[in-house]
A and B are shown apart, each in its own frame.
Chain A
Amino acid sequence: MMNYFPDEVLEHVFDFITCHKDRNSVSLVCKSWHRIERYSRRRVFIGNCYSISPERLIARFPGVKSLTLKGKPHFADFNLVPYDWGGFVYPWIKVLAETGIGLEELRLKRMVVSDESLELLSKSFVNFQSLVLVSCDGFSADGLAAIAANCRFLRELDLQENEVDDHRGHWLSCFPESCTSLVSLNFACLKGEVNLGALERLVSRSPNLKSLRLNRSVPLDTLQKLLMRAPQLVDLGIGSYVHDPLSEASNKLKHAIQRCKSIMSLSGFLEVAPRCMSAIYPICGNLTTLNLSYAPGIHGNKLTKLIQHCRKLQRLWILDCIGDKGLGVVASTCKELQELRVFPSDPFGAGNDAVTEEGLVLVSAGCPKLNSLLYFCQQMTNAALITVAKNCPNFIRFRLCILDPVRPDPVTNQPLDEGFGAIVQSCKQLKRLSLSGLLTDQVFLYIGMYAEQLEMLSIAFAADSDKGMLYVLNGCKKLRKLEIRDCPFGNAALLEDVGKYETMRSLWMSSCEVTLGGCKTVAENMPSLNVEIINESGQTVFNLDEGQKVDKMYLYRTLVGHRKDAPESNQTYLKCRGDLTRSDHHEPSLNDMIKDMKLKNISGDDDFIISESNNFKLQSQLFEKEEAEIMILKWKRL
């Protein structure tokens, strides 16, 4: 019946469907829905920039306005991926610019962003509004200057944990005087000085500014002036917070902060004199988010005092110098807490002030709404994990990192299998899990058995045999990303069910037992996968024999085949792809095309492939007109 509605009506209805998954489902209903959905999709998420080409993206979603792209594998965050691995955004921007789509928002994670890219971006899209860069590198303040100067309607410039090469601060003064549209400005990750005058002027002419995160070089008196001009801020990141509590500046600041009633999120304090913290107490009562994970200067009872004022906190990021005692304060104060991240203040040190299982148990007992955890700790016990699982069965993300990666339960000296087992068993909604500590195959048995919703799993220094990986691959039906390092998983585990990898976004294995021959077998059997081998020992892959273990293997499904931008200078990369057997100009068979088409949905959201695998055929049929014409009959017969 819905088919009798005019397209415009359907399109209007579809506009209310924002979730990628739902939109994917909508596009599978029938041909016309597919078409309407295709033209009306504004937001696209691509979890791996090498999984599809920009041309294909635009061909399917010509109306895209907001694009999210991810580049390097997650382990790149921890220096496990060579710097020159790839993940360049330039080709994407180039194609998007050439096709003249009206891009308004670009969100990039772990990509290499050159200044040229930013400049091209700034000049190609008239209505460009929002740029979010997370863990990106390759650009400098010059690129930012181009964005500032050319994007007249810029609403959001959000730079999170990027490594920016150039530290000059001139870019802030490049915002034209007419730029008044800023809603969010975050440059906390920049190292260098900024032009404070320009910053003040920019803030004072941006009446809609809601989020402002400053870097280290912005001193307290500037902060005070900024706050006087922008009392409407909701999210504030403080750069330097150093002053004499008795001075005039301090009084002024107190006054300024008291005016900012709407601040709900506070972060930064990159430089801090703990003595002065009392000035921010007045706004603590409203805070829902507090990120002190870059503020080693706040510790001891200054920290606990501060937290005692934050009764409404939902999200808390903090350093482990808070200690178990401090976590006890969190537990008794923050009853609304949903997300807790405890980072190590000295990841490579002896971890003297690291937190332990005690703190976690306290928090789990005090904060029943806790559903997301990242916890770097000194030690963990099975008993504690079992208690935590009992106290907080709502975990969606549970990432536990014991600083000593193979440490057993210090009380019983047993592996932590039972503890993690309890977590996966009682947390039915668990989507992301990271393991650490001494673990045997047993824990993977539990994971495979219970973690039905698990989408991402990180494993390090665990398991005894191939069985561990097999339990996971066989058990976790919704698994999308699996990353493994330093585990004894070999070819047997890798090759057990190669078809599984097509349902996943990616698999990373480094320092495992997988051999070159094993990787080749995967590549040959699965034409839709790219298998990349990163060999760090200096030997070229071609010198290796089949039985040689590979240092790192990264495999992902893709529609574009070999990527062209892999580093060539050192031949440490081998991209085996299944089309070894067929020539490039070979006319694809119908079967190939179906396979191919089902992957096209990567551009929508790769969830689709896992959750809707039964609809592949349908999706494929609908995808291209001519093909669909032929196959629609088949479908009806079904």
Chain B
Amino acid sequence: MSVIEFDGHNITVSVKDVEAILGLKNESVDIHEVVSKENVKELDANYNLNSFVNHVQINRFRTFSPANLKAVIGLLLLVPSLTLRRIRSYLEKFWVLMSPPLLGVEEEVQSNVSSPSVDCGLGLKERNYLGLSDCSSVDSSGVSSLPDNNKNNLNLKATELRLGLPGSQSPARETELCLLNSGKLDEKPLFPLLPSKDGICPSSQKNVVAGNKRGFSDTMDGFSEVKGYAYAEKSWMFHDAGSDSESPQTVGHGKYPGNSGANVILSARSPGAQASVKKDEPANVLQKQPHATNGINLKQTDISNNKSSAPAAKAQVVGWPPVRSFRTKTLATSSKNNDEVDGKPGPAALFVKVSMDGAPYLRKVDLTTYSTYRELSSALEKMFSCFTLGQCGSHGAAGKEILSQSKLKDLLHGSEYVLTYKDKDGDWMLVGDVPWEMFVETCKRLKIMKSSDAIGLAPRATEKSKVIN
């Protein structure tokens, strides 16, 4: 496991990621080439190379669309022993093998997989932002879930299971996967926050990974989950709207990666909850499903499930349409950034009022014009600079110059001010506690509060201090 810079962010990579990447290649040899020596044995012991190879041959790499490329590269980049050149040649192989005549067969699979993964870059980005920013909320753990601690533990087990303990869980897990497809669905909400966990506490992550042995199915699954992260967020978000109890839970899972717990089976959740998930976001579920089945397939070499209901997407032919790959990638990045604007018919502006303690007036901001917390925070900082400046000066910080971008954050960090928002339910929360997209959806008002006033609202901050203590 290592931390590597990608796209301007530090990303933690684990054996899990490596394994997932290997899903792109058909030679088992590559596993040894890619994974550092220490890991090889572990990998070997934990999944059956033959079935792995079979799987890949069946799928002939076409489960991945070019739109995934960025994600794949991102993950490949994380493997220290891989040279860039080597990565490229792997990618070349995989692209070329997606040969057009055979495409039809796997078309559906492809489409299933591709759509969530398109979001991947965003997912990565977002989580890293969460992980790295010094904005108040971020480092906080799943405070909101505290009340539900018991439940949490249950689900944490589930999470734990996913990550796996050496040797112990693999067979059980497998059967679960086979028997309880719905169990998979259940996990969806669990996963999204895993990545942010990575960002937040790399040290604990290390532990997790060190003891990390999984069957390949898990891995594969995990991979798709990671890729579908942003996507999963959405579904999570939706059923948040639907049922109050679930989302905090969800938050909790991600936040307690280190918790070790008893063996609780994935299906800990009530079927009712699953049903509601399905109802709320049928499309998401459908699209998710293939991931799950994919994972199973790795072990079972059975792809029949993949033919599940999927919107027929265009078959993707390598090199068609003839758009420079540079352009494709660049546009993929920027269109993601613009998705907030473009996603809906017409760029519906989303104005929210912003108030600040001590400021004589309110301002309005259009949340759709920002794509990260960072942008929002710097914009707010500019709007209210006169006031923070004053504050700043009065507290002896260097306030003479124009505020640098980090000033407000510094202020926030230094507990002078915190940025809070009122969510759909009318509760005041700390900005930064959820992924940006979700924040945009739920935010009704913004308030820059004196942190002393915000303590009540900021259980996460308190929580954090508890943890530290």
Q: Residues on A close to B: CB < 8 A?
A: 75, 77-80, 82-84, 135, 161-163, 165, 167, 189, 191-193, 216, 242, 244, 247, 249, 270-271, 273-275, 293-297, 299-300, 343-350, 376, 401, 403-405, 434, 458, 460-461, 485-486, 511, 536, 538, 551, 567, 570
A343 pairs with B327, CB closer than 8 A:
yes
A-B CB proximity, top 9 nearest: A83-B88, A78-B319, A536-B96, A161-B326, A82-B92, A80-B319, A83-B92, A77-B324, A347-B323
A83/B89 contact (C-beta < 8 A), A296-B338, A299-B342, A404-B314 known: yes
Chain B, 321-341, CB within 8 A of any chain A CB: 321-328, 330-331, 334-335, 337-338, 341
**Chain B residue contacts of A511, Cβ below 8 A:** 99-100
**Chain A residue contacts of B100, Cβ below 8 A:** 486, 511
B361 is an interface residue with CB less than 8 A from chain A = no
A300-B346, A347-B331, A461-B320 are known contacts; what are 12 more A-B pairs with Cβ within 8 Å? A167-B8, A244-B365, A244-B383, A274-B347, A294-B330, A296-B331, A299-B342, A300-B347, A344-B321, A347-B328, A348-B65, A567-B89
B91 is an interface residue with CB less than 8 A from chain A = yes
B334 pairs with A271, CB closer than 8 A:
yes
A244 pairs with B379, CB closer than 8 A:
yes
B8 pairs with A78, CB closer than 8 A:
no
Other-chain contact of B331, A80, A216, A345, A538 (Cβ < 8 Å): A345
Q: In the assembly, what is the distance between CA of A346 and CA of B317, in Å?
A: 14
B46 is an interface residue with CB less than 8 A from chain A = no
In this complex, the interface size class of chain B, counting residues with CB under 8 Å from chain A, is 35 or more
**Chain A residue contacts of B330, Cβ below 8 A:** 189, 270, 294
Q: List 21 A-B contacts (CB under 8 A).
A: A78-B320, A78-B322, A78-B323, A78-B325, A79-B96, A80-B96, A83-B89, A83-B92, A167-B7, A189-B326, A189-B330, A193-B8, A294-B327, A343-B323, A346-B335, A347-B328, A376-B323, A401-B322, A405-B321, A461-B320, A485-B319
- Main DSSP-derived SS at the A contact region: loop
B319 pairs with A162, CB closer than 8 A:
no
A121 to chain B, nearest CB (A): 21
B318 is an interface residue with CB less than 8 A from chain A = yes
A191 to chain B, nearest CB (A): 7
**Chain A residue contacts of B328, Cβ below 8 A:** 347-348
A169 to chain B, nearest CB (A): 10
A592 to chain B, nearest CB (A): 37
A189 to chain B, nearest CB (A): 7
Q: In the assembly, what is the distance between CA of A403 and CA of B346, in Å?
A: 24
B319 pairs with A345, CB closer than 8 A:
no
Chain B, 293-334, CB within 8 A of any chain A CB: 313-314, 316-328, 330-331, 334
B67 is an interface residue with CB less than 8 A from chain A = yes
B337 pairs with A271, CB closer than 8 A:
yes
Q: In the assembly, what is the distance between CA of A293 and CA of B7, in Å?
A: 22
B369 pairs with A434, CB closer than 8 A:
no
B324 pairs with A135, CB closer than 8 A:
yes
Contacts across chains A and B counted by CB atoms under 8 Å: 136
B375 is an interface residue with CB less than 8 A from chain A = yes
Q: In the assembly, what is the distance between CA of A193 and CA of B26, in Å?
A: 37
**Chain B residue contacts of A300, Cβ below 8 A:** 346-347
In the complex, residue of chain A having the shortest beta-carbon distance to the beta carbon of B97: A536
B142 is an interface residue with CB less than 8 A from chain A = no
**Chain A residue contacts of B85, Cβ below 8 A:** 83-84
B382 pairs with A458, CB closer than 8 A:
no
Q: In the assembly, what is the distance between CA of A80 and CA of B317, in Å?
A: 11
B334 pairs with A270, CB closer than 8 A:
yes
A75 pairs with B327, CB closer than 8 A:
no
B66 is an interface residue with CB less than 8 A from chain A = yes
Q: In the assembly, what is the distance between CA of A571 and CA of B44, in Å?
A: 28
B323 pairs with A344, CB closer than 8 A:
yes
A80 pairs with B323, CB closer than 8 A:
no
Q: In the assembly, what is the distance between CA of A82 and CA of B99, in Å?
A: 14
A599 to chain B, nearest CB (A): 30
A161 pairs with B334, CB closer than 8 A:
no
Q: Residues on B close to A: CB < 8 A?
A: 5, 7-8, 26, 65-67, 84-85, 88-89, 91-93, 95-97, 99-100, 114, 313-314, 316-328, 330-331, 334-335, 337-338, 341-342, 346-347, 365, 369, 375, 379, 382-383
B334 pairs with A297, CB closer than 8 A:
yes
B367 to chain A, nearest CB (A): 12
In the complex, residue of chain A having the shortest beta-carbon distance to the beta carbon of B378: A219
Other-chain contact of B320, A192, A296, A460 (Cβ < 8 Å): A460
A536 pairs with B314, CB closer than 8 A:
no
B136 to chain A, nearest CB (A): 23
B53 to chain A, nearest CB (A): 13
B382 pairs with A247, CB closer than 8 A:
yes
A80 pairs with B318, CB closer than 8 A:
yes
Q: In the assembly, what is the distance between CA of A434 and CA of B5, in Å?
A: 40
Q: In the assembly, what is the distance between CA of A274 and CA of B324, in Å?
A: 26
**Chain B residue contacts of A405, Cβ below 8 A:** 317, 320-321
A84 pairs with B88, CB closer than 8 A:
yes
In the complex, residue of chain B having the shortest beta-carbon distance to the beta carbon of A77: B324
**Chain A residue contacts of B317, Cβ below 8 A:** 405, 486
A341 to chain B, nearest CB (A): 11
Q: In the assembly, what is the distance between CA of A216 and CA of B331, in Å?
A: 12
B11 to chain A, nearest CB (A): 13
Other-chain contact of A78, B316, B324, B347, B365 (Cβ < 8 Å): B324
**Chain A residue contacts of B375, Cβ below 8 A:** 242
A163/B321 contact (C-beta < 8 A), A297-B334, A300-B346 known: no
**Chain B residue contacts of A458, Cβ below 8 A:** 322
Q: In the assembly, what is the distance between CA of A297 and CA of B327, in Å?
A: 15
B285 to chain A, nearest CB (A): 21
A161/B324 contact (C-beta < 8 A), A79-B92, A296-B338 known: yes
B326 pairs with A192, CB closer than 8 A:
no
B321 pairs with A376, CB closer than 8 A:
yes
B338 pairs with A294, CB closer than 8 A:
no
Q: In the assembly, what is the distance between CA of A567 and CA of B323, in Å?
A: 26
In the complex, residue of chain A having the shortest beta-carbon distance to the beta carbon of B318: A79
A273/B369 contact (C-beta < 8 A), A79-B95, A79-B319, A350-B313 known: yes
B92 pairs with A294, CB closer than 8 A:
no
**Chain B residue contacts of A296, Cβ below 8 A:** 331, 334-335, 338, 342
A162 pairs with B369, CB closer than 8 A:
no
Q: In the assembly, what is the distance between CA of A335 and CA of B375, in Å?
A: 40
Other-chain contact of A77, B88, B95, B325 (Cβ < 8 Å): B325
**Chain A residue contacts of B91, Cβ below 8 A:** 83
**Chain B residue contacts of A244, Cβ below 8 A:** 365, 369, 379, 382-383
Q: In the assembly, what is the distance between CA of A273 and CA of B330, in Å?
A: 17
Q: In the assembly, what is the distance between CA of A216 and CA of B320, in Å?
A: 27
**Chain B residue contacts of A551, Cβ below 8 A:** 96
B334 pairs with A294, CB closer than 8 A:
yes
Q: In the assembly, what is the distance between CA of A216 and CA of B335, in Å?
A: 13
Q: In the assembly, what is the distance between CA of A376 and CA of B318, in Å?
A: 17
B92 pairs with A275, CB closer than 8 A:
no
B88 pairs with A294, CB closer than 8 A:
no
Other-chain contact of B322, A189, A299, A460 (Cβ < 8 Å): A460
**Chain A residue contacts of B96, Cβ below 8 A:** 79-80, 82, 536, 551
**Chain B residue contacts of A242, Cβ below 8 A:** 369, 375
B81 to chain A, nearest CB (A): 16
B89 pairs with A82, CB closer than 8 A:
yes
**Chain A residue contacts of B327, Cβ below 8 A:** 161, 293-294, 343
A176 to chain B, nearest CB (A): 27
Q: In the assembly, what is the distance between CA of A321 and CA of B431, in Å?
A: 34
Other-chain contact of A294, B89, B316, B331 (Cβ < 8 Å): B331
**Chain A residue contacts of B314, Cβ below 8 A:** 348-350, 404
